[in-house]
Amino acid sequence: MAGRPHKKITKNDLYNYLYIYKEVLWCEHRYKCEDQLFEVLINSDIKNMNSSKFEKFINIHLDLIKKFEYKLNERRKNNEIIEYLKNIEQQKLSTTEKQILNLEENWFALTRDEYFELQKLLNNYRSKNMSQIKNRVSQNIKSSEDKAIEQEKFNARKNLNHQKFFLGGAFLSVYKELFNNENIHPTNALIDMIKVYAIYQFNAQHNSALSNLFEQYRHLQAFADLENKLTEISLDPRNPANKKINS
Q: Indicate the domain borders of the chain.
A: 11-141, 146-242
pTM above 0.75, yes or no: no
Query: Are 229 and 177 a contacting pair, CB within 8 Å?
Result: yes
pLDDT tens, 153-201?
777 777 777 787 777 777 788 787 777 666 778 888 788 878 877 877 7
Angstrom distances, CA of residue 197 to CA of 79, 140, 155, 202, 204:
42, 52, 31, 9, 10
For residue 178, report the phi and psi dihedrals to the nearest 5 degrees.
Answer: -120, -25
The answer on pLDDT for 54 being more than 90 is yes
Q: Between residues 106 and 141, which one has the greater pLDDT?
A: 106
Of the candidate ranges 3-7, 54-58, 159-163, the one whose mean pLDDT is the lowest: 3-7
Instruction: Please say if the pLDDT value at position 116 is more than 50.
Output: yes
Tell me the C-alpha to C-alpha distance, in Å, between residue 187 and each of 168, 169, 180, 227.
11, 13, 12, 21
Q: Tell me: pLDDT of 245 over 50.
A: no
On average, the pLDDT of the chain sits at 81
More confident site: 60 or 224: 60
